[in-house]
Each structure stands twice: as C-alpha cells, then as structure tokens.
Amino acid sequence: MRALILLGLVGFAAQLVDGSLGMAYGVTSTTLLLAIGTNAAAASATVHLAEIGTTLASGISHWRFGNVDWKVVAKIGIPGAVGAFAGATFLSSLSTEIAAPVMSIILLSLGVYILIRFTAFGLPRGNLGKPLRRRFLAPLGLLAGFVDATGGGGWGPVGTPAILASGRLAPRKVIGSIDASEFLVAIAASIGFFIGIGSENIDFAWVAVLLLGGVIAAPIAAWLVRHIPPRILGSAVGGVIVLTNVRTLLRSDWIDASGAVQTIAYLVIAAIWAAAIAYSVREYRRDKANESVEALELELRRKATEEEETASA
C-alpha cells in the first residue's frame, strides 16, 4: 500500500511539473520505476499506459485555458506516434540486462539537458507569431516519439525546448500543444509495448495510481503554467533526474562503483544542483526586476506623450 501511495504522489508531482513545464512526466516516473527494480520495457509501458489518461486530461485542461494550437498538435503528434511505436518495438527486443542501463543513459542525458537548458538559458523568446512548418515539426515529432518510448520519457524534453527555441509560439501554447499531442504518442507506444512484451510484465495497479495522481494534477498544472517560474522548476527537475540515474548507473553491472566513489559522485552532483537552482532563482528575480523597470519606463513615456499631445492641443 505504501508503494502505491508513493506512486500516486509521484504521478501527481510528475504531472504537475509536466503540465507546467511541458516535460518530465515520463522521465520522472520511469526513473522512479527503474530505481525500484522494474524491468526497463515494463517501466516504460507502465508509464505510457498511465499517460494515455494523464495526457488526455492535460490536453483538455490546456485547451480549456486556451493553451493549445491544434495545427501544431496535428503536425507533430502524428509523426510522434510513428516514432513512439518504433521505439517501443525496439526497446521490447532488448534484453533486460542491456535495456536498464541503456534507458538510464538516455534518461541521464535528458536530465542533463533539462538542467543546463533551463538553468543557463531559461525560456527563449523571439520570432513570436511566425508559422511553424511541417518540415520542422514532422522530423522533430518522429525523433521525440522514438526517444520517448525507448527512454520512458523524452517527448517533452526533446519537443518543448526545440519549439521554444524557434521563438514562434508563446511558451504557454508550446507547453499546451506538446501535452495535447502526447496523447497520440502514449497510445502508439502502448500498442507497441503490448505487441512486444504483452501485458504479463505490467502491473496495472501501478498504472492506475500513476494515472490517478496525474489526472488530479492536470487541471492544476494547466492553471499554474501562467504563474510558475519554468526556469527554476526546470533546474530542480533536471537535478532530480540526473542524481537518480547516476545512482542507477553507478550500481549497475556496467560500472559497479565502490561506496566511496558513489558518495563522492552524489556530493558533487548535489553541489552542482544546488548551485544551478540558486542561479536560476537569481536570474529569475533579475529578469522580473528588469521587466518591471521596462514596464515603468514604458508607462512614463506613454504619460509624457499624452501630456505633450494635451499641451499642443
């Protein structure tokens, strides 16, 4: 029972992050399932089955708050489903001994990417309003879907930053569209896993509690996307993913590091993680202060212009 409650809380927290940041539900949930010894393919299958419900709830919630561009959903979601099916089939064909560390490496890479991306750069803005072409979204969806299925997560970490970097869509629209299109990816990946490994390795009680936690969090996250600082959240989530998957790799048969080496590695990662969060908080506060100054200057100019027009009249 304790494990189920923990999984429900993880599902809630992961969806809260994913719905606010546009990534990390699959990466966070799969990382936990691997940490407690779940088969790699079964872990990814469990998460993707839960995501069928969570992404549907998240997509509806984002749509209700006006955060979805349906043209983007269609252009990236269908290729994403194709990539996810292929990735699920590929992962299902690997042996457990190979799949677990391979997935940890993928998850670790995504965690490092999230940590660096949001700590160093925050959310890019520019070219807002320009159209997103199919020739950009289709290959991106194909790659993101494949990584998502093989890594147990990756749709958001690959797709969200790429679209944000284009600067052509408002951040809330990027996050809402990515979350809505992930519904197609989750269905395709689940079908691929059922064909590849069947259902005997999937614990449907785990699927249910992950789903329940995610569905409860989905509308909250859709509302929070307008208020929560993504830069700080990205740094925090990236650090969790890095630390957890480094632990998995250091304890794997590939490395089998000594206790002293593991302790040193954890301390170094924790120090870097703390510094990243502190830097993100400082940069976020500085950006907000600059925005306030710019808004004040704009308001003063507007009032000065009005006074000049009144005097000349």
Q: Map out the domains of the chain as residue ranges.
A: 2-312
Predicted local confidence at residue 58, as pLDDT: 77
| % of the chain residues with pLDDT over 70 | 72
Residue 8 has pLDDT above 80, yes or no: no
The answer to whether 247 and 262 have CB atoms below 8 angstroms apart is yes
Over residues 203-222, mean pLDDT: 74
Beta carbons within 8 Å of 188's beta carbon, 6+ residues apart: 80, 81, 82, 84, 85, 88, 145
Please check whether residue 30 is in contact with residue 207, taking contact to mean a CB–CB distance below 8 angstroms: no
pLDDT tens for each residue of 21-48: 656 667 677 777 776 666 667 777 777 7
- Stretch 160-168: mean pLDDT: 69
Question: Sign of torsion, CA 45 51 56 57?
Answer: positive
- The mean pLDDT value for 114-128 works out to 69
Query: Comparing 254 with 276, which gets the higher pLDDT?
Result: 276
pLDDT at 18: 65
**Sorting pLDDT into bands at 50, 70 and 90, what band is 98?**
low
| pLDDT score for 55 | 80
Q: Which of 60-74, 107-121, 191-205 has the lowest mean pLDDT?
A: 191-205
Which range is least confidently modeled, 27-41, 103-117, 184-198, 228-242? 27-41
